[in-house]
């Protein structure tokens, strides 16, 4: 990766890759692949049928959440290098394992899952959230000469829908009308696999039903005419102009799937107003909390892959460039109760056994180090060495050498803590490092998707993980 890539270059390269994907014909299963080209591509053994990705967009500081270090309260004039955690640590249900204050509810369900404390993000030069998010979701460092499929698209392609009416890949909570919308679109795609395997978007879970029904006041005949008009518009779109026959047919199939859902009884799963008020209120901490509720309902209806995000919008949410302590206090309130409730509810109904839940972020944060200790990059935050204002109290710089990932259900061990970071700055990974190809192959292994899954694109094999060399972290499985 060229260290100096900026956002404009990133967009130019990914846009070119998208056009190349449109022009390409059908991806051909390689003769070397252990997968079949149709149907369930399982190896014959799987521990999960459904995946829920809880995406902490913006860079969640590990020392402020699931890997707390020594707590140092704020004092005007204090040295920033003294501050490792700005929250006290609190015990979890696991003996000797503590979380940062504000995550007590998730701490009480950790006997149902695994905590990875040693995820290491990639070195890609100057740090951009959209690039690292692209890398996390596709396993490929951008830019690529072809549009790399999102992990959800690979799963939709290889396993298909569990319920033929429910979209196999559902994305909840991310808008593209805020911040770096175009950059985020670059990896929210099925790429060369085709539109039918791409995400079904629900930007606001409280309005999920609007995604699967005609607008208010539109009768069936008018909706049918609009659907026909939409088909005509597609023919005049970039897909119609530049797309191969395969890509055109794939887009039509995706439209047919959406139309089929519109007229199905399962569409009611998108209507959160039917949830009992007491349960709705437990989840309702905002859009992310309601996204967790919608994910639970869709899992029960047979969804295959669901992503629920706190949403990436620059300088908001987990993207803490200042006021880190205050901002994280709010973020914990948004995620703690709903995530614990989601795990508890799926466990009670028996769905957790075959549902793999992952909580992750693109990288971590530190107060003093940008990048990693042995590969520092250009500092993007004016963080003084001496703190004279509470807004400087928190983790504001991007840190890639120690991140936390949580996994629950789907055959993952219960009550396991894997990996370790140093207790002193820099709080980097010192035991059992895990990188993105290991995370992806662990997910694929749980689903029974072989590690050598590949297609031939531009006369070369394209694997689920680069070069097909990724391996699952087998120590995580029960």
78-124 pLDDT tens trace: 999 999 999 999 999 999 999 999 999 999 999 999 999 999 999 99
* pLDDT value of residue 222: 60
CA–CA separation, 77 vs 80, rounded Å? 9
The DSSP code for 189 is S
Least confident of 69-73, 116-120, 168-172, 240-244: 240-244
The better pLDDT of the pair 286, 214 is held by: 286
Calculate mean pLDDT across residues 453-465: 90
Q: Is the pLDDT of residue 168 over 80?
A: yes
CA–CA separation, 296 vs 351, rounded Å? 9
CA–CA separation, 48 vs 448, rounded Å? 8
Q: Is the pLDDT of residue 439 over 60?
A: yes
How far is residue 86 from each of residues 66, 96, 288, 370, measured CA to CA in Å? Answer: 13, 20, 24, 18
CA–CA separation, 410 vs 49, rounded Å? 8
Tokens standing for 168? 């196999």
* pLDDT value of residue 41: 42
* pLDDT value of residue 231: 57
Contact assessment for residue 168 and residue 197, using Cβ atoms and an 8 Å cutoff: yes
CA–CA separation, 367 vs 350, rounded Å? 42
How far is residue 27 from each of residues 60, 150, 202, 243, 461, measured CA to CA in Å? Answer: 36, 15, 28, 13, 10
Q: What is the pTM of this model?
A: 0.87
Q: 10 Å Cβ neighbour count for 478?
A: 10
CA–CA separation, 465 vs 429, rounded Å? 22
> Around 86, how many Cα atoms within 13 Å sit in the side-chain half-sphere?
24
Calculate mean pLDDT across residues 343-365: 98
* pLDDT value of residue 457: 86
CA dihedral 169, 173, 176, 182 (to 10 degrees): -60
Calculate mean pLDDT across residues 459-470: 92
How far is residue 55 from each of residues 41, 79, 291, 317, measured CA to CA in Å? Answer: 26, 32, 11, 12
Exposure b/e, 234-249, CB count within 10 A at least 16 = b: beeeebbeebbebbbe
How far is residue 290 from each of residues 204, 382, 451, measured CA to CA in Å? Answer: 9, 35, 34
Calculate mean pLDDT across residues 62-85: 97
Residues in the chain: 478
Homologous superfamily (CATH) of 7-208+268-476 is: Alkaline Phosphatase, subunit A (3.40.720.10)
């Amino acid at each position: 990766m060229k260290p100096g890539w900026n956002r404009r270059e990133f967009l130019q390269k990914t846009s070119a890759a998208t056009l190349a994907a449109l022009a390409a014909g059908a991806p051909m299963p390689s003769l070397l692949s252990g997968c079949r080209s149709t149907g369930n591509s399982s190896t014959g053994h799987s521990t999960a049928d459904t995946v829920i990705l809880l995406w902490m967009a913006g860079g969640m500081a590990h020392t402020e959440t699931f890997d707390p270090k020594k707590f140092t309260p704020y004092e005007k004039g204090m040295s920033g290098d003294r501050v490792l955690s700005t929250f006290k640590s609190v015990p979890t249900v696991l003996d000797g394992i503590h979380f940062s204050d504000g995550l007590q509810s998730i701490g009480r369900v950790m006997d149902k899952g695994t905590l990875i404390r040693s995820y290491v993000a990639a070195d890609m030069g100057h740090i951009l959230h959209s690039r690292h998010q692209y890398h996390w979701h596709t396993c490929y460092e951008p830019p690529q000469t072809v549009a790399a499929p999102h992990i959800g698209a690979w799963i939709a392609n290889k396993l298909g829908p569990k319920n033929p009416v429910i979209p196999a890949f559902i994305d909840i909570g991310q808008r593209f009308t805020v911040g770096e919308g175009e950059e985020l679109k670059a990896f929210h795609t099925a790429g060369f696999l085709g539109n039918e395997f791409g995400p079904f978007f629900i930007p606001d879970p409280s309005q999920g039903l609007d995604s699967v029904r005609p607008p208010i006041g539109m009768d069936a005949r008018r909706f049918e005419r609009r659907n026909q008009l939409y088909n005509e518009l597609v023919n005049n779109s970039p897909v119609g102009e530049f797309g191969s026959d395969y890509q055109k047919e794939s887009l039509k199939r995706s439209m047919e799937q959406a139309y089929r859902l519109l007229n199905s009884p399962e569409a009611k799963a998108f209507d959160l107003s039917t949830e009992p008020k007491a349960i709705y209120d437990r989840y309702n901490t905002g859009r992310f909390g309601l996204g967790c509720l919608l994910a639970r309902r869709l899992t029960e209806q047979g969804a295959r892959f669901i992503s629920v995000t706190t949403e990436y919008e620059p300088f908001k949410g987990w993207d803490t460039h200042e006021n880190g302590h205050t901002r994280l206090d709010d973020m914990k309130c948004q995620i703690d109760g709903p995530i614990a409730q989601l795990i508890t509810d799926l466990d009670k109904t028996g769905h957790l056994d075959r549902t793999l839940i992952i909580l992750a972020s693109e990288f971590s944060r530190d107060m003093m180090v940008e990048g990693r200790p042995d590969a520092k990059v250009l500092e993007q935050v004016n963080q003084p060495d001496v703190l004279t204002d509470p807004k400087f109290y928190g983790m504001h710089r991007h840190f890639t050498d120690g991140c936390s990932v949580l996994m629950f259900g789907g055959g993952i061990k219960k009550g396991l803590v894997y990996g370790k970071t140093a207790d002193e700055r820099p709080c980097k990974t010192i035991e059992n490092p895990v990188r993105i190809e290991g995370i992806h192959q662990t997910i694929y292994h749980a689903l029974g998707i072989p590690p050598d899954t590949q297609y031939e694109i531009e006369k070369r094999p394209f694997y689920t993980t680069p070069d097909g060399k990724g391996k699952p972290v087998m120590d995580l499985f029960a």
